[in-house]
Chains A and B, each alone.
Chain A
Amino acid sequence: MIVVQLFVNALLLAGTYLLLAVGLNLIFGVLRVVNFSHGGMVVFAGLFVYWLVLRQHVSPVLAVALAVVVVAAIGFVTQAAALARIRVTGYDAELLSLLATYGVALVLVNISALSFSADYVSLPELQGSWNIGSIHLGRAAVVAAAVGVISSSAVLFWLARTRSGKRVVATAQSETGAEVCGINAAVTKRVAFTLGSALAGLAGALTIFQSTMAPSAGLGYTVLAFVMIALGGLGNYAGAFLGALCLALLASFTSYYWSGTASAIAPYLLLLLVMLARTRGSRYSLV
């Protein structure tokens, strides 16, 4: 029975991981930008929710919605004011984008520390578990996992089945080709970055209910999300789910049968092994 419980824990953790990775994956898929501000957005949203709920007595649901909207707006401004102004192309563009988003991350982390909390904090609203026989499911993890799977599936559906989503896929595949077909690539990119930021905000807003968060943790979230999407193939949604599941299974089982320290090292060992085994990388594909 313990194996089943560990597997359930891993599935819930994978859902949470997916929620963390989905926004980063979308932005990389469309803009080819490694969004270094992703973790900053996650902690900004989480600490903003903490501040709203505990200090301003706003209802948790409203606080989560506000955090998503605010972080989406930050994403919109970041894309319009910084990324859209990068005029070079190729590797230089990727480098400048990386630096720009790193700058945004620093700003967000410091605003969070000055305005919301500089220390580790969390909220107890979704504590406890639901039980199915002897199997227990942590409430906060269930909510985060459900939202992670639903939002990830919704993004996948949007990209694959809707006209606006297909514009995004087309832009991701060839910006020039998309523009020749009449797609406004600049607007498409802005939409993708804003949506990706909103998803980062959603991830942070829900994570604050299940674990502690501090401004200094921002980079850690970026790295964790990046490892997941790198494992699954950058920009590949099905791959990201696989990456999240692999990491969660590793964390759950190595921690139980070996030690917590081993489970902290395991994801990076796995990433190294995958990189060694697939030296040419995975095929780049949004969907």
Chain B
Amino acid sequence: MSAYVKGLAYLAAVLAASAVVAGCGAGSGSTGSASATSSDKGPIVIGMSASKSGPYSVDGVASLEGVEYAVHAMNQSGGWLGRKLELKVYDDQSDPTKAQQIYQRLITQDHVDFIIGPYAPDLAAAAGAVATRYKYVMLDPETALPIISGSKWAIMDEPAAKQNLDGYPEIVANEGYKTLAILGVNNAYGDECAAGVKEEAQQAGLKVVYTTSYAPDDALNSAAEAIKARGADAVASCSFFSDGVALTRALDRANYKPKVFGLTIAPSKPEFAEAVGNLASGVISNTSWAPSLKTEGNAEFVQGFKAFKGHAPDYHAANNYQSVQVLAAAVDDTQSLDQQKILDKLYSTTYETVIGTFKLSPDALAVGFKEYLYQVQADGKEQKLVYPDDVAEAKVATPYGGS
């Protein structure tokens, strides 16, 4: 047995060594040509880590593209304070430890002027600790949860998880249905989002007939059987991609079609329709942004992004563009790069952005943004905004038609 212990020790040593090697190599992903120290006359440097590889890479790259376009577009219009912008990016490999090392490096070695937070809450928490320690403003457009309790520096800069299915219970009730099943992946996101749905379901007069939380890799067969056994009219699931696909399939396997089917996150990705085929048709999901929104600069953003990147932006790109938009406005208002002045400005001002109104609560949460609901329609080919009414592009079609 001691040899096995020794073996595990060797394995740990090898893993640690590979982490060091990977960490050393991370710098090779940097873009731009920022000098080690940003001077008063040189470019203003924005630093961030991006999940260019690892499990978050698809969304991580989409996020990075939003910042890249923002830097490009703002340089086209003269930069900030008459200075050009540069972007310094390192690949965090979807790893919170690497993200933390990267933000430490960006602040203490690269001396960047501003930072933008990374993709996903776990990386945001790791990076937020560094931002808080060095008193750097970190807007994080990719976390829907509070980042560091008590810190004003690490700022949740997108709609909160609790808002993710805002309006969904109202849709269910308006369509004449009475009962709802609520599921949530067993992490802070799932808990917060499910709590929000439950609260609103009670306000809408719906009866919640089933609630459960589950591990992200659950096949959800038993949950589907439970939903079927209770005859829930509607299902709301606070899920990520993999579990969203699993629930869609599990309900299909169980021969159960809820009348209304709502899933967070998964349907926004093209891989969802690839994975579930025509079961995607009729699913309702959430987004913080859509190209059709009449928000500040949105039409120009959509057009400019397409011309710059050769494809349409998604909500990750829009969220990230928004963070740079907000920083730009704060720099312009204060005529300064001073972190404390920028922070004070952010907490005392509201800004109109491509995803809506940026407004901070005292506990570092963006509370001005809305979450919108869309439905997959036209046999899965189109996503149409259906809620709220003032932005709706189509009426909600029920019952859920995935077949």
A217 to B58 CA separation, bound complex (whole angstroms): 15
A212 to B58 CA separation, bound complex (whole angstroms): 15
Decide if B254 is an interface residue (CB 8 Å cutoff). yes
A121 to B212 CA separation, bound complex (whole angstroms): 25
Chain B residue with Cβ nearest A102: B11
Number of residues in B with C-beta < 8 Å to the partner? 45
| A212 interface neighbour in B4, B53, B242, Cβ under 8 Å | B242
Decide if A98 is an interface residue (CB 8 Å cutoff). yes
- Selecting from B70-78, B215-223, B325-333, B343-351, the interface stretch reads B215-223
- Selecting from B37-45, B102-110, B270-278, B360-368, the interface stretch reads B270-278
Q: Assess the B215–A216 pair: CB atoms within 8 A.
A: no
Annotate A110-152 by CB proximity to B: 1 below 8 A, 0 otherwise.
0001000111111110011101000010100100000000000
- Selecting from B158-166, B195-203, B245-253, B285-293, the interface stretch reads B245-253
Q: Assess the B55–A118 pair: CB atoms within 8 A.
A: yes
| B7 interface neighbour in A6, A91, A129, A211, Cβ under 8 Å | A91
Chain B residue with Cβ nearest A265: B215
Decide if A285 is an interface residue (CB 8 Å cutoff). no
Q: Which residues of A contact B245 (CB under 8 A)?
A: 120, 122, 211-212
Q: Assess the A118–B53 pair: CB atoms within 8 A.
A: yes
Q: Which residues of B contact A259 (CB under 8 A)?
A: 212-214
Closest CB in chain A relative to B70 CB, distance in Å: 24
Q: Which residues of A contact B24 (CB under 8 A)?
A: none
Q: Which residues of A contact B54 (CB under 8 A)?
A: 113, 118, 216
Q: Assess the A54–B225 pair: CB atoms within 8 A.
A: no
Closest CB in chain A relative to B211 CB, distance in Å: 9
A215 to B58 CA separation, bound complex (whole angstroms): 13
Decide if A252 is an interface residue (CB 8 Å cutoff). yes
Closest CB in chain A relative to B221 CB, distance in Å: 5
Decide if A261 is an interface residue (CB 8 Å cutoff). yes
A102 to B217 CA separation, bound complex (whole angstroms): 22
Closest CB in chain B relative to A161 CB, distance in Å: 35
A95 to B3 CA separation, bound complex (whole angstroms): 8
Q: Which residues of A contact B18 (CB under 8 A)?
A: 106
Return the 8 tightest CB-CB contacts between A and B, nearest first. Answer: A260-B214, A264-B215, A255-B222, A124-B277, A91-B3, A122-B275, A138-B253, A256-B222
Please give the residue numbers on chain B whose beta carbons come within 8 Å of chain A beta carbons, in ascending order. 3-4, 6-7, 10-11, 14, 18, 53-55, 57-58, 94, 186, 212-215, 217-223, 225-226, 229, 241-242, 245-246, 249, 252-255, 269, 271, 274-277, 279
With A122-B274, A260-B213 given, can you name 8 additional A-B contacts, CB distance below 8 Å? A9-B222, A102-B11, A118-B55, A119-B241, A121-B271, A138-B221, A212-B242, A261-B215
